[in-house]
Homo-oligomer: A and B are copies of this chain.
């Protein structure tokens, strides 16, 4: 590493973490990565997403900026750790979890922490699916702190990855995402379940239109990653599910009313 090069530390080198690494290396960062599964970090390095695979201790002691790119429960665990053991050098710490209220609950007492969430992803997880342009032009929500300088640094870092930083308070984020991300995911699972429940699911799948194909594609993303997110945001998601279900019942009624001469 060159003398002046700043170090980015990435905790969790799956699809998101490795994509951050690829984009950050392009932007001139020296990228150090840690993953609970060392093989995953090594794959990310081979993919060009990391300059070095490091220990968690190195990462928290030597990096200038840290990105926690792990599932929600692990994000909360890392923040709980960082609250007690603040990193020695990092002045900006970001996460990528899809819900922000539970993250902020711990994160607000971690120095340098700015909760954030990239609106980007893919069907396949893991570093093999990582792309340097995954965030290019995509919104990346972040929860502004009371410190304007910290917010600026966080926002500038996200922009350097090609993303569009969108400031948003945690409650608004979770309310919006229930509709724009969590609801479609749940609908995709329910749609797939209905399809599988038919006489000849194979033929059904063969005859899917483009939207149905996209919904089925979604259901191939890992359920284990979604479980804690749905749990954390369940009240908003349940309200959205009920709202859309009501719209669908209304639409069904209107469609059938067309058949009666009076309604035409």
Which residues of A line the B interface, CB within 8 A?
A: 119-122, 139, 141, 166, 168, 176-177, 179-181, 183-188, 190-191, 193-195, 198, 203-204, 206-212, 214-215, 218, 230-231, 234-235, 237-249, 251-253, 255-256, 258-259
Q: Please give, as numbers and ranges, the residues of chain B lying within 8 Å of A209 by CB-CB distance.
A: 119, 121, 177, 180-181, 184-185
Q: Please give, as numbers and ranges, the residues of chain B lying within 8 Å of A179 by CB-CB distance.
A: 194-195, 198, 204, 212
Q: Please give, as numbers and ranges, the residues of chain B lying within 8 Å of A181 by CB-CB distance.
A: 207-209, 211-212
Assess whether B248 is in contact with A187, with CB atoms less than 8 Å apart.
yes
Chief secondary structure at chain A's binding surface: helix
Interchain CB contact (< 8 A) of A187 among B168, B187, B198, B210: B187
* Shortest Cβ gap from A179 to chain B (Å): 7
With A245-B249, A255-B237 known to touch, is A180 a contact of B166 (CB < 8 Å)? no
Assess whether A249 is in contact with B255, with CB atoms less than 8 Å apart.
no
Q: Please give, as numbers and ranges, the residues of chain B lying within 8 Å of A183 by CB-CB distance.
A: 191
